[in-house]
Structure 1
Amino acid sequence: MKTKPINQHNLSSDLAIRDELEKRGWALSALSEAAAALARANSTELLIQEVCQAIAAQGPYVLAWVGQAQGDAFKTVKVVGVAGVASGYIKDIVVSWSNAEVTGRGPAGSCIRSNKTSVVIDDEIDPGFVAWRERAKEFGIRSAIGCPIPDGITGMPFGVLMVYSKVPNTFGSSEVQLFESLAKEIGFGLRSIERQHKLDDQIHEKELMQERLATALRATIEAMSKTMEWRDPYTAGHQKRVASIAMAIGRQLGWDNERIQAIYMAAMVHDIGKMAVPSEILTKPSRLTDLEMQMVQGHVEAGYQILKDIPFPWPIADMVRQHHERLDGSGYPMGLKDKQISQEGRVLAVADTIEAMATHRPYRPAKGLNSAMDEIQAEAGIKLDTKVVEAAFKLLENGNELQKILDTH
């Protein structure tokens, strides 16, 4: 039986495609790891070193270093960070970015001088690499790329990102594009760090931005809460009081500020689903029928549906959905039990119960704080979380903070 001859053309094409994909994979891995390093670095030295380490840990990349262009007469390229198994290659090396110097005609000098990426396809034949050819052979280096790191001020590069490979022709057009993007990100990071040797400015700006966003988010939440209260004047202030009680309980439980802010946001809109309930039912001055009660209970799921697609930084919609759930499964809308209910849902349940019983409702006068506390104590460990209930009682001991909240709002 005759075997079908191998199509050498197709085989060569397949191998070429495989090689290109492999090269791209190396570059993408390096870019991904370096991006993570950029995100966590908090100083110039750490940023440069971790980026170099991230690159040199991938594929055939045996060396990565960052050089800073100096303004001296020799136009020295100062090595400010290096990593890789071939790090010895760059030790005590002299590099310039002057065209008048032999050491300025290699990829690093050419890159800085022209402000353009420089690629060495194969250092054994590249005429600009003559000065380092023997040294490169000693460390198994065959190809290299130099990408300008912008300084964002003068238009000239801050310096150069150099990456070396033990494989010839490692850096094609796709790889060039990826490393150029990385060099730009390094430049962005360095511009922030250079001013104070750390990322203080960037961190401060980020904190200010987060603060502004948090303020805007809080204002939006409070506006949504007021909209609800306009439809249901009898519960005016209810959500705000529940929010204050929930925050106080959270502090007693030792929650951090961010978690307390989250419970505040959830409490401020926990009854927003009542917008789907007819106002005549919400303000009815007598006991509700079973059907009317079902309609009121539907406000929890309606609230979840209103909030679930809003990109809050916390699971606000889930917290709202759980504020009427109970540990024994007797709650609604999903009948969750025990560990299925989040800590935030448990705090909201206690805070909502206290406020609802202690204040006036259309169908009954206020029962008072003492009755409310008796109720949650009776349900502790059965329907309500014991630790949350204990935290609420501590608020009574601490200058009766609960009563102050109820009287203030």
Structure 2
Amino acid sequence: MCPQIASGGSAETSSTAAHASGGASLEQLRLTAELASDLVYQTNPAGIIEWVSPSVIHVLGWNPAEITGSPSIDLVHPEDAPGVQAVGARSYAGETVEEHVIRLRTKQGEYRWMSVRFRPVTDDRGTISAMAVGARDVHEAKIAGKAAQALAQADSALLRATGEGGLLQRVCDILVENGRYRAAWYGRPVNDAAKSVVQVARAGNHRGYLDQVRVTWGDAATAMGPTGNTIRTGKIQDCRDLQNDPKTGPWHAAAIAAGFRSSLALPVFVDGQIDGVLNVYGAEVGEFDHEAQTTLAGLADDIGQGLARLRDRAKIADALVNGVDLLAATVKTRDTYAASHQSDVSTLAMRLGQVLGLDDNQLLGLKLGANIRDLGNIVIAPEILSKPGRLTPEEFDQVRSHAEAGWQIAKRFHWPWPIAEMIHQHHERFDGSGYPQGLRGEQIVREARIIAVADVYDAISHDRPHRRSPGEARALEILTAAKGTEFEPDVVDALQQVLATGYTSGTVLKP
């Protein structure tokens, strides 16, 4: 296997050759015992195998005579060959090298993961004249470990997921990046005339495979592969030899070009119904052993549960959105100015949130919080809200109480977003000069810091019952002057960016 492994002198060389037909020198037996491996072999400095232990037939299927005299590098997987050659060179230079996990070719043309150790063999002068290599079979552990590592990372992604598309894409990415599988994709069946399967997410170096293959789930030839069978039966389909399995005939050429040797199709169920199929591809024949299948089947179950939770959350969100719309409508009936101001601030806050990198779920919460930030106005007399002149100190205190009043109402609901805090804190200021609590910096929830900028900009740039607007340009000047004091710098920067794109009030956005 190693590029340089040989016996330690001419006398040993002759006994090595003799061993190919059944004998073994004392030195070879000693090396076998010291390396304590599933198989041991030696190569000369040119990388030619001169001796191999009889156990090779049980590990890789080769008779010792079949590979004695052959270049050891021919047994190494092409992707692992450069690393093996580098380690061999270091060993010949006298370095002590660590165990190296590589793939060795079996007589059947498959590859097995082996952990190899290098042991120099010296002649009478102490010169390294050969290299002995001990190879320990770690194939099952390696394959199971790939699946387990992918599962651990994917479970974390499931907990953080806020949308179906993002969840499925992240799972595919993890299977390739952490699981080290060749490719992965998630397909959903469509009830159209062709019984199509659409790709919802995919990842990996598929070399055009996923662009050109057509997969269905009806009774056509394109439905007889792993994906179609999984959709029809609801069972895992393990294709051990993708390039030669008759059922995958329509995809053989593409699989060869992509370097796919095996695949696993796993059904994903949501509420008892099949939602789709998670397809995973390996670079080796028979890559998905029983343990790997069990682990990946657990991942498919977790995906189904994650999708179910997201859909339940979406239903709850829809109900909450409807409730917020009713609350917002109630506020509008008591304050004619609030009717347009509410929606304008909500829209601008969302634009700011997009620039600041909030995800879709956070944007939805921001939209709802901004829309009912003045919920507490329902406890304030309408004549105060619409008073054309200056407010008295008592009236101003009453207006300021709306943040506390709105929070008292909103905190009774179980929101999946910090809605109550947005209502309570949208008049707080970054430097602590706001009300009602005098919070500062990150004591204020991020959404409230965003709403504060949107609220003040919109209020200044529009006429109010008691004053005329100085204009949008002046509004931006005022916000910019307060950057880093009253308002968070990043949010003011986002406002400048949004306004530079030609934003105008009244633009409708969806989260």
Superposition deviation, residue 225 in structure 1 = 0.5
Query: Aligned in 2, Cα 1:208/1:340: closer, same or farther, shift over 3 Å?
Result: closer
- Mapped contact 1:395–1:402 kept (Cα < 8 A): no
Give the corresponding residue for 1:330.
433
Superposition deviation, residue 350 in structure 1 = 0.2
Equivalent in 396, 404, 407 of residue 304 of structure 1: 407
- Mapped contact 2:270–2:308 kept (Cα < 8 A): no
Give the corresponding residue for 1:401.
503
1:269 and 1:190 map into 2 onto residues whose CA distance is 35
Superposition deviation, residue 233 in structure 1 = 0.9
Superposition deviation, residue 304 in structure 1 = 0.6
* Superimposed CA distance per residue, residues 35-74 of structure 1 (whole angstroms, 9 cap, x where no aligned partner): xx9x9599xxxxxxxxxxxxxxxxxxxxxxxxxxxxxxxx
1:224 and 1:379 map into 2 onto residues whose CA distance is 32
Aligned length: 224
What are the equivalent positions in structure 2 for 1:129-168 lying under 5 Å apart?
Answer: none
- Mapped contact 1:354–1:376 kept (Cα < 8 A): yes
1:370 and 1:253 map into 2 onto residues whose CA distance is 22
Unmatched 5+ stretches in structure 1: 1-36, 43-187
Equivalent in 478, 483, 490 of residue 375 of structure 1: 478
1:241 lines up with 2:344 in the alignment = yes
2:344 and 2:156 map into 1 onto residues whose CA distance is 42
Name the amino acid aligned to 1:308: K
| Identical counterparts, % of pairs | 36
1:340 and 1:355 map into 2 onto residues whose CA distance is 24
Tell me whether 245-254 or 359-368 shows the greater mean CA deviation: 359-368
1:194 and 1:320 map into 2 onto residues whose CA distance is 39
TM-score by length of 2: 0.41
Higher helix share: 1
Give the corresponding residue for 1:280.
383
1:367 and 1:305 map into 2 onto residues whose CA distance is 34
Give the corresponding residue for 2:353.
250
Superposition deviation, residue 211 in structure 1 = 2.2
1:354 lines up with 2:425 in the alignment = no
Superposition deviation, residue 380 in structure 1 = 0.6
Query: Aligned in 2, Cα 1:281/1:205: closer, same or farther, shift over 3 Å?
Result: same
Name the amino acid aligned to 2:493: E
Give the corresponding residue for 1:345.
448
Query: Aligned in 2, Cα 1:321/1:192: closer, same or farther, shift over 3 Å?
Result: same
Name the amino acid aligned to 2:465: P
- Mapped contact 2:432–2:439 kept (Cα < 8 A): yes
What are the equivalent positions in structure 2 for 1:32-47 lying under 5 Å apart?
Answer: none
Alignment partner of 1:361: what SS?
coil
Give the corresponding residue for 2:369.
266
Report 1 or 2 for greater relative contact order, CA contacts < 8 Å, sequence distance ≥ 6.
Answer: 1
Give the corresponding residue for 1:232.
335
Equivalent in 319, 327, 334 of residue 422 of structure 2: 319
* Superimposed CA distance per residue, residues 132-157 of structure 1 (whole angstroms, 9 cap, x where no aligned partner): xxxxxxxxxxxxxxxxxxxxxxxxxx
- Mapped contact 2:271–2:308 kept (Cα < 8 A): no
- Mapped contact 1:369–1:403 kept (Cα < 8 A): no
2:499 and 2:330 map into 1 onto residues whose CA distance is 31
Query: Aligned in 2, Cα 1:386/1:40: closer, same or farther, shift over 3 Å?
Result: closer
- Mapped contact 1:273–1:299 kept (Cα < 8 A): yes
1:190 and 1:275 map into 2 onto residues whose CA distance is 42
Alignment partner of 1:236: what SS?
helix
Superposition deviation, residue 391 in structure 1 = 0.1
* Superimposed CA distance per residue, residues 218-260 of structure 1 (whole angstroms, 9 cap, x where no aligned partner): 1211111011010011221211111111110000011111111
2:347 and 2:328 map into 1 onto residues whose CA distance is 14
Give the corresponding residue for 1:221.
324
- Mapped contact 1:274–1:296 kept (Cα < 8 A): yes
- Mapped contact 1:192–1:201 kept (Cα < 8 A): no
- Mapped contact 1:246–1:264 kept (Cα < 8 A): yes
**RMSD between superposed Cα atoms in Å:** 3.0
Structure 1 runs, 4 residues or longer, greater than 6 Å off? 192-195
- Mapped contact 2:343–2:506 kept (Cα < 8 A): no
Unmatched 5+ stretches in structure 2: 1-151, 158-268, 278-296
* Superimposed CA distance per residue, residues 256-290 of structure 1 (whole angstroms, 9 cap, x where no aligned partner): 11111111111011000011111110011111111
Give the corresponding residue for 1:161.
none
Query: Aligned in 2, Cα 1:195/1:367: closer, same or farther, shift over 3 Å?
Result: closer
Query: Aligned in 2, Cα 1:342/1:191: closer, same or farther, shift over 3 Å?
Result: closer
* Superimposed CA distance per residue, residues 272-322 of structure 1 (whole angstroms, 9 cap, x where no aligned partner): 001111111001111111110000000000011010121001121111111
Query: Aligned in 2, Cα 1:253/1:194: closer, same or farther, shift over 3 Å?
Result: closer
Query: Aligned in 2, Cα 1:361/1:194: closer, same or farther, shift over 3 Å?
Result: closer
Name the amino acid aligned to 2:436: P
- Mapped contact 1:250–1:260 kept (Cα < 8 A): yes
Superposition deviation, residue 210 in structure 1 = 2.4
Alignment partner of 1:237: what SS?
helix
Alignment partner of 2:378: what SS?
helix
